[in-house]
Amino acid sequence: IPKKIKNICCIGAGYVGGPTMAVIAQKCPEIKVTVVDINEQRIAAWNDKILDNLPIYEPGLSEVVKEARGRNLFFSTDVDKAIVEAEMVFISVNTPTKTYGVGKGMAADLKYVELCARQIAKVSTSDKIVVEKSTLPVRTAQSIKTILDAEGKDIQFKVLSNPEFLAEGTAIEDLHHADRVLIGGDQDVDGLKAIQCLVEIYAHWLTKERILTTNVWSSELSKLTANAFLAQRVSSINAISALCEHTGANVDEIANAIGADSRIGSKFLKASVGFGGSCFQKDILNLVYIARSYGLEEVADYWNQVIILNDYQKRRFAETVVNTLFNTISGKKIAVLGWAFKKDTNDTRESAAIYVADYLLNEQAELMVYDPKVKPEQIYADLDYLNTRSEEENRRLLTVVTNPYEAMDDAHAVTILTEWDEFKNYDWKKVYRGMKKPAFVFDGRNVLENELLKSIGFLTFNLGRS
């Protein structure tokens, strides 16, 4: 086991690897941190002199990169060199849902993780602590260890699990002030030493009470469990939102009322058009798959319901738009405000907006999309990926604009699909004047001031209000 960590390598320069390593480098100036990736374009963007060109938009990220890059933070495509130099190697590559073979549509695809393990095994010439940063099925550490040891070299590998809990849009804040970090490792002498090496890194900026240590399996499974619980809260409140619309109850008032109970807590109770993001669905599907693989059908069904409810919520919102617009939106111009899966990120993976837009396009609506951070090519790529209609048709029916007023001008309806702050500050009187009448607003995030909109003349739909 390496005594002191002087060099860290992180494989995968994505949403997790980039910000996490930038913060470690910022807080541990004596450690050289090298983030590597096979995606040359991504690495070039991380190295771009113009900080606005970093591949990921996160509040506060460019300041951290500016402070550490070139000092002790490096981005490179030379994966082998960085592995050889490092005493500690983080695996932070993507673990998407499998799209083929056994477990298709459910299980996590571990091919990228396995490739990393094989590469580490092949090129290493000294002892290493290998850290699972990616979100992985419980017991993956076992497979990684087997692969690492299979080269039969006279060096020692220790595998730790250190799942990441940051949320996009608040990544830097979450890393700087983490509620906790979790480190799982073998509970023998060497395992505990390896755990200690990683504890010391986080102890540069977090108090010891916030650094939890467990066995490897608890750590791996805690990550899937945390995401399942979080997503479950969203599905729970969204289920109640549907009931509110029929009963005169107001979902935001309910969230307040139940959130005041300290056992329930007030966070993560915002009704929405559905949760998105690269991980909630993927991780729950994975959890469901693992439960089924052990024959735990009731457990699997229980968690699967969180996904079913989320799909229902997206569909329900889109149906409401069609029903309210007199059962036809064919040829009608509808503004879509927001494409990212949540505010303050340019990430669109699994965004509810994609599915709502697809539904509305099936009804032959003409969509005008505006998002402050998402690029037009991303929006088209997201739709094309669904394969519902031809690429030409997607471009004919959907236009991406850079001015929100242009999106709403002459439209029959406005839909709010991401909770961007700027939407609140638009000149809604001006918007109303420009729209077809009756002018509808469907607020899928309950962010606009409903009373104000109504006083202007809008007909409004809010989630969870009758």
Residues in 130-189 at the binding interface with ligand UGA, rule: CB under 6 A: 135, 164-168
With CB under 6 A as the contact rule, the residue among 64, 116, 197, 354 that binds ligand NAD is 116
Distances (CA, A) of 52 to 47, 55, 331, 371, 410: 11, 9, 38, 17, 34
With CB under 6 A as the contact rule, the residue among 277, 338, 404, 444 that binds ligand UGA is 277
Residue 346 marked in a binding site: no
Residue 134 binds ligand NAD (CB under 6 A): yes
- Are 374 and 340 in contact, with CB atoms under 8 Å apart? yes
Round to whole Å and give the CA distance between 416 and 249.
Answer: 22
Q: How wide is the angle at C-alpha 137 spanned by C-alphas 136 and 143, nearest 5°?
A: 85
Residue 135 binds ligand NAD (CB under 6 A): yes
| Nearest approach, Cβ of residue 177 and ligand NAD (Å) | 16
Distances (CA, A) of 392 to 306, 337, 363, 387, 396: 35, 22, 17, 12, 6
Residue 342 binds ligand UGA (CB under 6 A): yes
The CB-side HSE value for 64 (13 A sphere, CA atoms) comes to: 25
Q: Which is nearer to ligand UGA, 310 or 460 (CB)?
A: 310
- The listed partner (ligand NAD, ligand UGA, none) that binds 268, CB under 5 to 8 Å by sort, is ligand UGA
Q: What SS3 state is found at 162?
A: coil
| Nearest approach, Cβ of residue 356 and ligand NAD (Å) | 22
Residue 374 binds ligand NAD (CB under 6 A): no
* Residue 279 bears catalytic tag: yes
Query: What radius of gyration, in Å, describes the C-alpha atoms of the chain?
Result: 24
Residue 279 binds ligand NAD (CB under 6 A): yes
Residue 400 binds ligand NAD (CB under 6 A): no
Site string for ligand UGA, 252-271 (x = CB under 6 A): ----------------xxx-
Q: Which is nearer to ligand UGA, 167 or 401 (CB)?
A: 167
Residue 94 marked in a binding site: yes
Strand partners, 213: 183
- Are 315 and 28 in contact, with CB atoms under 8 Å apart? no
Round to whole Å and give the CA distance between 128 and 153.
Answer: 12
| Nearest approach, Cβ of residue 161 and ligand UGA (Å) | 14
Residue 14 marked in a binding site: yes
Residue 133 marked in a binding site: no
Site string for ligand UGA, 343-382 (x = CB under 6 A): ----------------------------------------
Report the 10 Å Cβ neighbour count for 126.
12
Q: Which is nearer to ligand NAD, 80 or 384 (CB)?
A: 80
Give alpha helix (H) positions in 86-160: 111-123, 140-149
Round to whole Å and give the CA distance between 376 and 398.
Answer: 10
Residue 10 binds ligand NAD (CB under 6 A): no
Asked if residue 438 has a cis previous peptide bond (ω within 30° of 0), the answer is yes
Distances (CA, A) of 147 to 126, 150, 171: 16, 5, 32
The binding site consists of 12-17, 37, 42, 93-97, 134-135, 164-168, 223-227, 263, 270-276, 279-282, 341-342, 349, 445
> Could you give the residue numbers annotated as active site?
279
The binding site for substrate consists of 164-168, 223-227, 263, 270-276, 341-342, 445
Q: Which residues bind ligand UGA (CB under 6 A)?
A: 135, 164-168, 227, 230, 234, 268-270, 272, 275-280, 341-342
